[in-house]
Amino acid sequence: MPRHARIDIPGLLQHVIVRGIEKCPIFLDDQDRANFLSRLRVLLSETETDCYAWALLDNHFHLLLQPKQRTLAEIMRRLLTGYAVVFNLRHHRAGHLFQNRYKSIVCDKDPYFLELVQYIHLNPVRAGIVGDLETLATYPGAGIANCSGEHPCR
C-alpha cells in the first residue's frame, strides 16, 4: 500500500510521534535523553521552529512543533539521523533505530492546542515513568512552553 503524501509547509502546527523499531528503547538512560534534547534545541534555533511540548518515553517520543521557515521533513531528517548515528555508536549497535517514518498530525491551534499540550506532557505519567505531577515537574524528559511564550527546547 503506498504512503499518503504529507502536508508539510512552514507554519503548520504538527504533533510528531516517533517509535523505536520493534518497539525497542530509543532512550536507554538520561545521557541519551540529554543528547536528544540538545540536538533538538540546536535544530529549533537554527530552523526558527517553535516547540510547545515534548515527552520522551523509553521507546517513543512526542513533539508539538511549528516550523517557521523550514519543512518538518527537513527538521526531522536532521534530528533523527544525527541522533541515531550517535546512539548506535554509543551503544555499539548497528542498523535502524526508528520504526518506519515519523508520524505527523497537522493540528488546529485554536480548539485543541491546550488539550494536545496536556496530552503530550502527561505521557510519562500515563506510562508509569513518573508517579505523579510533582515528579513530572522535575522530569527532564517532558516539558511545555511557559506562559511568557519562551520556548522550552531553546
What is the C-alpha to C-alpha distance for residues 18 and 62, in angstroms, rounded to an integer?
Answer: 7
Full set of structural domains in the chain with CATH: 13-144 (3.30.70.1290)
The model's pTM is 0.86
Closest CA to 13 of 76, 81, 63, 57: 63
Question: Residue-wise pLDDT tens for the chain (154 aa)?
Answer: 556 666 777 888 999 999 999 999 999 999 999 999 999 999 999 999 999 999 999 999 999 999 998 999 999 999 999 999 999 999 999 999 999 889 998 888 777 888 888 889 899 999 998 888 888 988 888 887 643 344 444 4
What is the four-CA torsion angle of 1, 76, 118, 147, rounded to 10 degrees?
-150
